[in-house]
């Protein structure tokens, strides 16, 4: 009761997929994206080229386009980020954001949507990828109204989220979005659908970012948002069962998130997670504001206790308040009991106090020695300590602020989905997608 399966996990076929790069057991998104888009291994950091960075790999999206299908690329992170780039660009480095953006701008693909471009303007200021995209026939939309007005026949579209974060990505779902990944996906299907068929890649890219930051609740909410995009794909597949393949996979695991923490052993307390109302990045802004308006000598954790409770549901109690609540709870006061349940233990409070001091001393912490990195991962010390505390209370734990080398689950439904059963490599997914697109092109030409 009260439990609902994800659309993803209800798909008909499942497999396990290895994700290693040519040069590392733990891949980055460029090497993993290249494997999924082209069927070839490359080194971390390389966008759809071989490890020597000289030979471009043809991608499933390019093959689809060449064989007459329409093509869409959607992501919740910036559209020039490694994963989406691996489907339309070829660059020796994922960091060549301007060059990647320019390849998007001159692309013959039909639909780009979600995040924006990180470096639209060339270093000399003369070329703007957004302008070049418009010159190349793209309709660029930046408002909900213009986006919703897009109708089949509009031609090539580059739909940018009305609000973008500092990295040109969508907001986290938990923080509210004017347009969701599900809406970008549904619109893509509406615009690309036709007798010629289409290929679309949709990435829930910010799931990775909140895992880097070890924020489980934000990750769960973005996963649910991605599941909405999957629902859109599955609904289309249900209407066209003879000619649609839907594949869902991860390019890699991030953070080493597990259900299970040393401090909680065999128990979980998922109700703690319900108290979080904003992402780590939204709380960083609250903290930033406080830091700007408070001198180091005046700063006290006490000042932020209401903000912390509002953001994470965690209650900071003074000794007297705790005694008072203990008494009330002993007499059956359930409100008091609940506040005690969500309160920080003495040990937890000590760690949070320590992190608060570190966060307030921001400038001095920049050095980032190994020990500091292990505890805070380069994130805002107070915020990451709060998400760690909340996650650990719930019985969740993290092992890293980077990716891991564990295999990821892959799900498939539709034509040829049974091939996605078993234990295989991410390059096999690329190869199977390419053969599916080839088969579709053959059918269409008959």
Q: Which residues bind Zn ion (CB under 5 A)?
A: 208
- CA 241 from chain center: how many Å? 29
**Distance of closest approach, residue 376 Cβ to Zn ion, in angstroms:** 18
Angle, alpha carbons 386-389-390 (nearest 5°) = 85
Nearer to Zn ion, 257 or 444 (CB): 257
Nearer to Zn ion, 208 or 380 (CB): 208
**Distance of closest approach, residue 9 Cβ to Zn ion, in angstroms:** 22
- CA 386 from chain center: how many Å? 21
Query: Under DSSP, is residue 1 helix (H, G, I), strand (E, B) or coil?
Result: coil
3-state helix, strand, coil in the chain (%, to 5): 50, 15, 40
Nearer to Zn ion, 106 or 406 (CB): 406
Nearer to Zn ion, 32 or 311 (CB): 32
**Distance of closest approach, residue 156 Cβ to Zn ion, in angstroms:** 29
Q: What is the Cα–Cα distance from 417 to 410, expressed in whole angstroms?
A: 11
- CA 373 from chain center: how many Å? 22
Backbone angles phi and psi of 268, in degrees to 5: -130, 150
Nearer to Zn ion, 111 or 172 (CB): 172
**Distance of closest approach, residue 117 Cβ to Zn ion, in angstroms:** 19
**Distance of closest approach, residue 402 Cβ to Zn ion, in angstroms:** 7
- What token pair was written down for 125? 């200021």
Q: What is the Cα–Cα distance from 161 to 405, expressed in whole angstroms?
A: 32
The alpha helices in 168-254, defined as continuous H runs, are 181-192, 206-212, 216-239
Q: What is the Cα–Cα distance from 101 to 89, expressed in whole angstroms?
A: 9
**Distance of closest approach, residue 30 Cβ to Zn ion, in angstroms:** 10
Q: Which residue is nearest to Zn ion (CB)?
A: 208
Nearer to Zn ion, 208 or 348 (CB): 208
- What token pair was written down for 327? 């008494």
């Amino acid at each position: 009761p009260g439990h609902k399966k994800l659309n993803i996990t209800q798909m008909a076929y499942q497999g396990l997929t290895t994700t290693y790069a040519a040069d590392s057991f733990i891949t980055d998104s460029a090497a993993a994206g290249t494997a999924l888009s082209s069927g070839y291994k490359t080194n971390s950091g390389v966008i759809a080229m071989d490890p020597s960075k000289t030979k471009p790999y043809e991608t499933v999206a390019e093959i689809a386009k060449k064989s007459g299908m329409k093509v869409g690329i959607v992501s919740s992170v910036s559209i020039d980020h490694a994963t989406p780039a691996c489907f339309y660009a070829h660059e020796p480095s994922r960091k060549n954001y301007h060059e990647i953006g320019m390849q998007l701008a001159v692309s013959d693909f039909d639909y780009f949507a979600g995040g924006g471009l990180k470096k639209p303007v060339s270093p000399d200021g003369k070329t703007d990828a957004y302008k070049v995209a418009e010159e190349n026939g793209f309709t660029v939309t930046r408002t909900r109204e213009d986006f919703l007005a897009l109708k089949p026949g509009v031609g090539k579209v580059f739909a940018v989220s009305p609000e973008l974060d500092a990295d040109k990505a969508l907001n986290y779902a938990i923080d509210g979005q004017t347009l969701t990944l599900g809406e970008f996906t549904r619109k893509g299907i509406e615009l690309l659908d036709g007798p010629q068929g289409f290929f679309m890649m949709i990435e829930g890219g910010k799931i990775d970012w909140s895992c880097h930051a070890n924020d489980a609740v934000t990750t769960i909410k973005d996963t649910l948002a991605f599941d909405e995009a999957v629902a859109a794909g599955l609904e289309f597949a249900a209407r066209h069962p003879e000619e649609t393949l839907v594949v869902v996979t991860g390019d890699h695991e991030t953070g080493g998130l597990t259900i299970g923490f040393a401090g909680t052993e065999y128990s979980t307390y998922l109700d703690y997670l319900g108290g979080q109302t904003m992402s780590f990045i939204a709380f960083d802004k609250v903290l930033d504001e406080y830091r700007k308006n408070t001198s180091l000598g005046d700063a006290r954790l006490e000042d932020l206790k209401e903000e912390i409770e509002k953001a994470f549901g965690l209650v900071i109690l003074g000794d007297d308040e705790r005694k008072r609540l203990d008494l009330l709870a002993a007499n059956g006061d359930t409100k008091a009991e609940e506040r005690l349940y969500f309160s920080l233990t003495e040990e937890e409070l000590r760690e949070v106090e320590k992190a608060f001091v570190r966060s307030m001393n921001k400038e001095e912490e920049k050095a980032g020695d190994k020990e500091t990195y292990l505890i805070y991962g380069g994130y805002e010390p107070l915020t990451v300590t709060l998400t760690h505390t909340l996650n650990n209370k719930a019985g969740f734990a993290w092992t890293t602020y980077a990716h891991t080398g564990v295999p990821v689950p892959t799900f498939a439904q539709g034509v040829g989905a049974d091939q996605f059963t078993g234990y295989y490599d991410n390059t096999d997914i690329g190869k199977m997608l390419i053969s599916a697109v080839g088969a579709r092109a053959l059918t269409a030409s008959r």
